[in-house]
Structure 1
Amino acid sequence: MSETTQEGVLAKFATPLIILATIIWGSSFVVMKNSVNVLPTFWLLAIRFSFAALVLGVVFWKRWKLLDRQYLIGGTVMGFCLFLAYAFQTFGLDLTTSGKNAFFTAVYCVIVPFLYWAIARRRPDRYNVLAAFLCVAGIALVSVTGESATAFNLGDVLTLVGGFFFACHIVAVAKYSEGRDIFLLTTLQFASFALFSWLGALFASPAPDPAVFNGGLVFSLVYLVLFASAGALLFQNIGQKYTAPATAAVLLSLEAPFGVFFSILFAHERPTPLMFLGFALIFVAVVCSETKFSFLRKKG
């Protein structure tokens, strides 16, 4: 397959790849919650992204010939933003509910259009802004209901900070992926993420007891490495390369409703009318972002 043909195929499947990533992440919330209860945060992230970088580095070994200074800079910046995002989100998850963690992470929907405006001088249109606020409102109804609707706490604050750095990561991908091989860039992103995590693990977290690495934890780690990291984050980066940052942010927010859906399916959570209203708002937000409601306007 020629490079031009490959670019065309990837661009065509950009939106489905982002949505597939959110489905995988939605299914991983329970796995992540169980893992963070056993492993210190930095150790979990270090192990997860070291193996993810190794997997992509081997699979895409032919891409290493493209490596230069700009790839190293781009991969490091992307990895650092993602490291901060995951670190704050994971620490937050340990101190708050899964639902609130999903919701407060989703503030990046609102931050991305304005952050991209500040960095790239590309002003968001009214549909980008409307979609972002509809999306956050929908996620609030889906995620923060019932037992999740508890008082604001430190875990929520940490999660909000994580949401900001997720927005930084989305903008960084948009900036550094332009004209570059996304497979090599993602591999370098994982490698730098792993390096920062190991620094945190060695200096800020005690080593875990080897006895915790039982069959259940190993299975969880394999799932997080192969699907939630090497698979989903690669899909995200590919999709983002061919999608406007504001639109990508709204599509990525589907992680929250998918997380609730899998909780209903496998953890026997009970859906509420507010959840269904939230799903409807998120659907309208995605339609708004993707189509700008062009089908409602009369064609001249």
Structure 2
Amino acid sequence: MSYPRTLPTLGLLAMTAVWGSTFVLIKDVVARMPVADFLAVRFAVAALAMLVLFPRQVWRLGRTGLARGFALGVIYGIGQLLQTWGLQLIAPSVSGFATGMYVVFTPILATLLLGQRMAGVVWVAVGLATAGLALLSLNGVSVDMGVWLTLASAIFYALHIVLLGQWSLHGEAFGLSAVQMVAIALVCLVATLPHGGPMPPPDRAAWLGVLYMALIAGAGAMAMQTWAQAHMPATRAAIVMTTEPVFAAAFAVAFGRDVLSWRMLAGGALVLGAMYLVELMPRRTEAPIAEAAHHEV
């Protein structure tokens, strides 16, 4: 089934808007419960919801699809742990920038692992997005352990984006997403074992936050990303997803957590410009990238 060329992009934008709403919320929740416990509960709820809703889609994946989904989930789960551990140590804005560096790592990994040749316009867009992320997020920063953990998470996210672009096929988004959720939950559950297993959220507010991040920012967002990446190249997806800190800044301003500044406006404009650039990239330039990204291995 064919879709309008902009529909996957709009889906990713909706997903990143949801993700952008979670930075401050996550920091509040992990201040009251261990990181691994929060993630284990979050993704266990998400996995259960996905399995209840899409059992047939999971069954139809077959052995190869199940293995790929599990591998993708393990990679993403490690990224989640590293990012959230890092977020405990640094400001959400700095975390947003360091996480967004997957926009740089994605084309590098796609080139190294898949031998993809990126058009010059892609690297221009990567540069614009990186500059925009820096303006949005940084106002003087020391590179401490929290930053290194978050940069490591960005590498895992980039690997997830590249492999998801390679393995996500039409009609398999929901099944593949469900398997990924199960794997992520297992990775996070293992991380809780040193202190005796996961503890539940401590209060009603924490539960509400966990449920929002499990069902909307977890299961729903993963399903959307998996579907969208079946219809677009990995690097283009990564550039579109750098709008996450733009949405994070917008939510912060809207809810009185921050004040609108020229840095937000300029950074947001650069990120949106990068996205606009890859969206307008001529089909003849994008086609080889798309073909490589969806080649079966």
Q: Same fold (TM over 0.5)?
A: yes
User: Residue 283 of structure 1 aligns with which residue?
Assistant: 272
* Cα pair 2:170 2:227 within 8 Å, conserved: no
Trace 1:248-287 onto structure 2 (pairs within 5 A).
248-287=237-276
Q: Distance in 1 between matches of 2:174 and 2:198?
A: 32
Following TM superposition, by how much is the alpha carbon of 1:90 offset from its aligned partner in structure 2, in angstroms?
Answer: 0.3
Runs of 4+ in 1 over 6 A off after TM superposition: none
Q: Which amino acid aligns with 1:199?
A: V
Question: What letter matches 1:166 in structure 2?
Answer: Y
Q: How does 1:128-143 map to 2 (within 5 A)?
A: 128-143=122-137
1:44-63 pair list within 5 angstroms: 44-63=38-57
Q: Secondary structure at the match of 1:8?
A: coil
How far is the alpha carbon of 1:208 from its aligned partner? 6.3
CA–CA distance in structure 2, aligned partners of residues 282 and 208 of structure 1: 38
After TM superposition, the structure 1 = structure 2 runs for residues 32-71 of structure 1, keeping only pairs within 5 Å, are 32-71=26-65
Q: 1:172 aligns with which of 151, 157, 163?
A: 163
**Which amino acid in the other structure matches residue 251 of structure 2?**
F
* Structure 2 partner of 1:76: 70
Match of 1:298 in 2: none
1:234 matched to 2:223: yes
Partner residue of 2:176? 185
Check whether the contact 2:192–2:198 (CA below 8 A) recurs between aligned residues: no
Question: SS in structure 1 opposite 2:21?
Answer: helix
Change (3 A) 1:140 1:55: same
Residues 88 and 229 from structure 1, CA distance in 2 versus in 1: closer, same or farther, beyond 3 angstroms? same
Cα distance change of structure 1 residues 190 and 11 upon mapping to structure 2, 3 Å threshold: farther
**CA distance, structure 2, for counterparts of residue 206 and residue 29 of structure 1:** 27
Match of 2:286 in 1: none
Contact 1:25 1:228 in 2 (8 A): yes
Report the CA distance between 1:11 and its aligned residue: 6.7
Give percent identity, aligned residues only.
29
Q: Distance in 1 between matches of 2:51 and 2:6?
A: 25
Q: Deviations over 1:212-248 (max 9, x none)?
A: 5211111111111111101112111111111111110
Q: Which residue of 84, 95, 106 corresponds with 1:101?
A: 95
Are the counterparts in 1 of residues 58 and 178 from structure 2 also a CA contact under 8 Å?
no
C-alpha contact 1:77 1:172 (8 A) present in aligned 2:
no
> 1:124 aligned to 2:115?
no
Classify the secondary structure of the residue corresponding to 2:187: helix
Gaps of 5+ in 2: 284-297
Size of the aligned set, in residue pairs, is 283
Match of 1:85 in 2: 79
Shift of residue 162 of structure 1?
0.6
**Cα separation, 2, equivalents of 1:150 and 1:289:** 30
Given that residues 26 and 255 in structure 1 are in contact (C-alpha distance below 8 angstroms), is that contact kept between their aligned partners in structure 2?
Answer: yes
TM-score (norm 1): 0.89
Kept in 1, the 8 Å contact 2:61–2:172? The answer is no
CA RMSD of aligned residues (A): 1.8
Aligned AA (1:70): T
Q: Which runs of 5+ in 1 are unaligned?
A: 1-6, 295-300
Partner Cα distance (1:219, 1:28) in 2? 12
Structure 2 SS opposite 1:271: coil
TM normalised by structure 2 equals 0.90
Tell me, in whole angstroms, the C-alpha distance in 2 between the residues paired with 1:69 and 1:89: 30
